[in-house]
Amino acid sequence: MFCHLRPMRRLCLEKIFPHWFPYSRALSGAEAVNALRPFYFAVHPDFFGQHPVEREINENSLKRLSVYLENLQKPGFKSLKPTQLTFYVRETDQSSSDGQEPFSTSGFRAVKFTLHTRDLLSTVLYILNSCSLSVEHIQSFNTNVHTQPLKEAKRMPDRPIKWDKSYYSFTGFKDPDEDLEQVSRVETTLTSWLDNNGKSAVKKLKNSLPLRKELDRLKDELSHQLQLSDIRWQRSWGIAHRCSQLHSLSRLAQQNLETLKKAKGCTIIFTDRSGMSAVGHVMLGTMDVHHHWTKLFERLPSYFDLQRRLMILEDQISYLLGGIQVVYIEELQPVLTLEEYYSLLDVFYNRLLKSRILFHPRSLRGLQMILNSDRYVPSLHELGHFNIPTICDPANLQWFILTKAQQARENMKRKEELKVIENELIQASTKKFSLEKLYKEPSISSIQMVDCCKRLLEQSLPYLHGMHLCISHFYSVMQDGDLCIPWNWKNGEAIK
């Protein structure tokens, strides 16, 4: 599925840009970020709201890329370990599928590449080139760049220096291709990765403990003061960032306590935009100022009224569809505001009224459905709920639901059984390895989590003692010491 792009010699950048690359000056950190703007625009998680798995993969890859770029700028660094990244790249005017996997029907493609660069400029060029994005704008950052156009430079013959292996053996210098060849030959195993990263994770976790205590204190204090149901975060922000957001909310509570108390009984979520979510959570945009937050809290009574109307609309749809329950599953659906979700339901309800399709009253009670605006054909999810397009043929919808109802009930029963097994395995794993916390990313299914925990329980993993372990899609040490491992981790001898 993925395209595999591996740099062969100084990332072959001299091959791609032979004339101007050797004479270009180093980029500053700010210039590197600016030069990568087309890339960030093509992979930014906000554009993948309707594709939660791809959104999460891009979020995590961007975090790892950020760490890589930060390390490149640290004084005295010598060499970084090859870092393999996966991104889903949106189709943009700049994008080209030359040499890459074709775009899917969703308008994006998967790109997988390994970074092993030594400076910001070569890193930026390699990322853009790997994603088939233009690099011409980078000339503006380099005053000493050769004046020959890039397109013409690409046609120049390839004559990079390629030293014989004996050169490195004789001089003692490190072969730049060696690590990359090792990455391609050896598959990372859980034990080897923990051996290499366990100590750094322990150090980061230890350093984060005071802030973690402060975060818990602030969260408990605000929840009690405002009588909130919970305080959560949509993204995997660091502990320091979360503390800063809670401090900001605490200052606002000191200034406008009565206004903020209108959120009594609600869950507050720090996210990208302010408003009320489809399930009734109060969303505080982290980029908004206190004035915007105050206005939101003042408008909560009108949001509660809209929420009541939305629930009535869900009941009306349920009645027309034989008692099937309309639900919104945060982990599987795009992030919608209450207004957006109400509009979606309203369009669907009016189409149902016009179609006059008939279901026996209460014949579908116990079943669930979610609405999707980006689908045209109904489907049955493995968890048992129906994925129903907002716009679809009523006759096909009726036939599909009736023929799949029994399978849906079986899937839902299996889901409940899996949930019980999953919780038991999480508790058993937490106890065996003395974990401080064991959790999973939203895109990890119960089936994947069960498989992961069963295999973990067969292992002896002393590095996990007292750690925070997240089951994800790839290996990573988060900035606060959380260990992320892929649910389908491998173990045993390295595969040659």
Domain boundary residue, one of 386, 415, 444? 415
Q: How many CB atoms lie within 10 A of CB 408?
A: 22
Domain boundary residue, one of 378, 397, 415? 415
pLDDT higher at 45 or 189 = 189
Residues 6+ apart with CB under 8 A from 164: none
Whether residue 187 lies inside any domain: the answer is: no
Q: What's the N-to-C CA distance of the chain in angstroms?
A: 22
Q: What is the pLDDT of residues 382-412, one digit of tens each?
A: 889 999 998 888 888 889 999 999 999 999 9
Give yes or no for residue 184 having a pLDDT over 60: no
Residue 276 pLDDT grade (very low, low, confident, very high; cuts 50, 70, 90): very high
Whether residue 244 lies inside any domain: the answer is: yes
Cα gap 303→306, rounded to integer Å: 5
Residues 356 and 222 grouped into a single domain:
yes
pLDDT higher at 167 or 125 = 125
Cα gap 328→445, rounded to integer Å: 17
- Residue 458 token pair: 């067969």
Half-sphere exposure of 477 (CA within 13 A, CB side): 19
Asked if 384 and 368 touch (Cβ cutoff 8 Å), the reply is yes
Question: Which of 10-24, 183-197, 200-214, 268-282 is least confident?
Answer: 10-24
Domain boundary residue, one of 383, 415, 447? 415
Asked if 108 and 159 touch (Cβ cutoff 8 Å), the reply is no
Q: What pLDDT score was predicted for residue 155?
A: 36
Q: What pLDDT score was predicted for residue 164?
A: 58
Average pLDDT over residues 106-134: 83
Cα gap 151→75, rounded to integer Å: 35
pLDDT higher at 240 or 234 = 240
Cα gap 324→471, rounded to integer Å: 33
Cα gap 496→492, rounded to integer Å: 12
Whether residue 157 lies inside any domain: the answer is: no
Cα gap 352→354, rounded to integer Å: 5
Percent of the chain with pLDDT over 90: 45
Asked if 120 and 104 touch (Cβ cutoff 8 Å), the reply is no
Q: What is the pLDDT of residues 237-263, one digit of tens each?
A: 789 889 999 999 999 999 999 999 999
Asked if 262 and 227 touch (Cβ cutoff 8 Å), the reply is no
Residues 225 and 374 grouped into a single domain:
yes
Boundaries of domain holding 345: 192-415
In DSSP notation, 45-95 reads: GGGGTT-HHHHHHHHHHHHHHHHHHHHHTSTT---PPPEEEEEEEE--SS-
Cα gap 324→384, rounded to integer Å: 12
Whether residue 181 lies inside any domain: the answer is: no
- Residue 355 token pair: 């179609």
In DSSP notation, 122-188 reads: HHHHHHHHHTT---GGGGGG-TT--SS-HHHHTTS--------HHHHHHH-PPPHHHHHHHHHH---
Q: What is the mean pLDDT of the chain?
A: 81
Residues 83 and 215 grouped into a single domain:
no
What does residue 78 show for φ and ψ, rounded to 5 degrees? Answer: -105, -55
Eight-class DSSP state of 279: T
pLDDT higher at 69 or 173 = 69
Residues 209 and 358 grouped into a single domain:
yes
Pairing of strands 386-389, 379-380: antiparallel
Whether residue 235 lies inside any domain: the answer is: yes
Residue with tokens 């957001």: 245
Q: Which of 110-119, 158-167, 439-448 has the highest mean pLDDT?
A: 439-448
Whether residue 491 lies inside any domain: the answer is: no
Give the bridge partners for 477, in sequence order.
Answer: 483
Residues 312 and 397 grouped into a single domain:
yes
Whether residue 22 lies inside any domain: the answer is: no
Type and span of the H or E element at 108: strand 108-115
Residues 127 and 231 grouped into a single domain:
no
Q: What is the pLDDT of residues 24-43, one digit of tens each?
A: 446 777 778 878 888 888 88
Residues 76 and 198 grouped into a single domain:
no
In one letter, which amino acid is 228? L
Residues 377 and 292 grouped into a single domain:
yes
Q: What pLDDT score was predicted for residue 234?
A: 81
Average pLDDT over residues 459-486: 90
Percent of the chain with pLDDT over 70: 79
Q: How many domains does the chain fold into? A: 2
pTM score > 0.85 for this model? no
- Rounded to a whole number of angstroms, the CA Rg of the chain reads 26
pLDDT higher at 105 or 383 = 383
Residue 67 pLDDT grade (very low, low, confident, very high; cuts 50, 70, 90): confident
pLDDT higher at 6 or 299 = 299
Whether residue 10 lies inside any domain: the answer is: no
Residues 227 and 329 grouped into a single domain:
yes
Cα separations in angstroms, 261 against 74, 223, 265, 428: 46, 10, 9, 40
Residues 108 and 201 grouped into a single domain:
no
Asked if 120 and 133 touch (Cβ cutoff 8 Å), the reply is no
Residues 123 and 263 grouped into a single domain:
no
Question: Which of 46-55, 65-74, 394-403 is least confident?
Answer: 46-55
pLDDT higher at 7 or 484 = 484
Asked if 250 and 221 touch (Cβ cutoff 8 Å), the reply is yes
Cα gap 181→184, rounded to integer Å: 5
Q: What pLDDT score was predicted for residue 138?
A: 72
Eight-class DSSP state of 102: P
Give yes or no for residue 328 having a pLDDT over 50: yes
Residues 248 and 381 grouped into a single domain:
yes
